[in-house]
Amino acid sequence: MNPNLPTTAGIKLLHTPGPTHVPDLVRNAMSAQPFDLNDPRLTAVIENCERGLQRLLNTQHANVMMYTANGHGAWEAAIVNLLPPGGKVLVAGSGHFSETWAQAAEGCGAHAIRTEARAGSPIDPGLVEAALRADKAHEIVAVFAVQTDTSTGVTSDIHAVRQAIDRAQHPALFVVDVVASLAATRFEMDAWGVNVAIGASQKALMLPPGMSFTAVDEKALSAARNNPTPRVYWDWNLRKSPIGYRKFCGTPPESHLMGLEVSLQLIEREGHEAVFARHLRISRAVHAAVERWGEHGALWLMTKDPAARSTSITAIGVREGIDPTEIYTLARERFHVALAGGLGPHSGKVFRIGHLGDINEAMILGCLAGVEATLRLMNVPIGDGALERAVAVLNAHMPPVR
Ligand SMILES: *Cc1c(COP(=O)(O)O)cnc(C)c1O
């Protein structure tokens, strides 16, 4: 028998913070036949994706450049375009993702300076300001910051980081990773003075993994023009072309683009504000449930400050002796709910629930019920009434029926 055939009835609920559930309309669009490379319809799809991403990023002028690569590819694009060999970058500490981005910069030959990251705490703008003030010679070329660090589910105040750069009167470019936050919470590229934003397909943009992008303003493009680091595929100035084949340094990822065009339409039809409000409402329901589960001290929310908890993902710490691998394996195999484990220093100590993208109330209640069933099957001592709390929070924040 084909081992890929499903062995159970019903659907699997995918609740990782990427990949996320892909809407049927997006999957259908992705199954269309490819265009020939000169078809004006392909040009139109690419332009619709660029314009839609600009609107979501709240930028008028930044150039959207997309890659047939995951988010790590887009990280590398920012690194090799902006940082000269041995060049300095200040990476604002937020968690595992800021740390691995710093390591990627070092792997490309740059010199990464980090501000301290405290698990579950947002970026400290004061530390960014101090590090920039200490750089009297203005050797730091760029500040890298992650809006939502997916390892702990913490969201940082990106505007406050920009203000810290301005207070230090430092000319560094500001580069922000919005991979886990774009379309789940507000991002204001122009108003917050962000020079480069980085995103990927498989989070709140509701596509399968395999595509990423950078949005690059004129200041960053001109810095890239003067940067001698060798690169071809990632080169922003080579990609600045009206021709699709040049924009992608080769054949565009047509299926992903056809999917992205539809997912951006879905987001706009619902309305950006409504999409963010839905994410906030659902994330609050998750937090309320986890707080109830944690009443006996067996588990807890990693991000203590409610204002810093992301609308995309919730990371849950577990007491020693409770194995997150067992939690997510049982949840997947017994209850058909797919969760994520801990990353980096949190491996073996944390499990994570993704609640971003194509998600509604029924889906999150199904997910929470599956997690509760798993925890009870494992005899983890948890508080009663978590699902009731989640329902109450959802109902308290429900928009009117139209
Ligand atoms: C998922 C993620 C990445 C990496 O994306 P990949 O597609 O896995 O390379 C980078 N930054 C953040 C904040 C993420 O959540």
Per-block mean pLDDT, blocks of 10 residues, the chain (402 long): 72 96 98 97 98 98 97 98 98 98 98 96 98 98 98 98 98 98 98 98 98 98 98 96 94 98 98 98 98 98 97 98 98 97 96 98 98 98 98 91 70
Pocket of ligand 1 (CB under 6 A): 18, 70-72, 97, 146, 148, 150, 177, 179-180, 200, 209
Candidate from 16, 76, 123, 150 with most ligand 1 atoms within 8 A of CB, to mutate: 150
Residue 2's pLDDT is 73
pLDDT value of residue 6: 62
**What's the 13 CA to ligand 1 centre distance in angstroms?**
21
Q: Name which residue sits closest to atom 6 of ligand 1, judged by CA.
A: 71
**Atom in ligand 1 nearest the alpha carbon of residue 150:** 15
At 399 the pLDDT is 82
In the chain, the largest separation of any two C-alpha atoms, in whole Å, equals 67
Q: Which pLDDT score, from 0 to 100, does residue 7 have? A: 64
Q: What is the pTM of this model?
A: 0.97
At residue 1, the pLDDT reads 66
The best mutation among 94, 177, 355, 356 to test binding of ligand 1, ranked by most ligand atoms within 8 Å of the C-beta, falls on 177
Ligand 1 centre from 396 Cα, in Å? 32
Give the per-residue SS3 of the chain.
CCCCCCCCCCCCEEECCCCECCCHHHHHHHCCCCCCCCCHHHHHHHHHHHHHHHHHHCCCCCEEEEECCCHHHHHHHHHHHHCCCCCEEEECCCCHHHHHHHHHHHHCCCEEEECCCCCCCCCCHHHHHHHHHHCCCCCEEEEEEECEECCCCEECCHHHHHHHHHHCCCCCEEEEECCCCECCECCCCCCCCCCEEEEECCCCCCCCCCCEEEEECHHHHHHHHCCCCCCCCCCHHHHCCCCHHHHCCCCCCHHHHHHHHHHHHHHHHHCHHHHHHHHHHHHHHHHHHHHHHHHHCCEEECCCCHHHECCCEEEEEECCCCCHHHHHHHHHHHHCEECEECCHHHCCCEEEEECCCCCCHHHHHHHHHHHHHHHHHCCCCCCCCHHHHHHHHHHHCCCCCC
Q: What are the beta bridge partners of residue 352?
A: 315, 340
**CA 49–ligand 1 middle distance (angstroms):** 20
Q: Which residue has the tokens 């040009």?
A: 43
Q: Which domains occur in the chain, in start order?
A: 13-20+271-396 (3.90.1150.10), 24-268 (3.40.640.10)
> Ligand 1 centre and the CA of 311: distance in Å?
16
Whether residue 310 contacts residue 95, with contact meaning beta carbons closer than 8 Å, is answered with no
Distance 384 CA to ligand 1 centre (A): 34
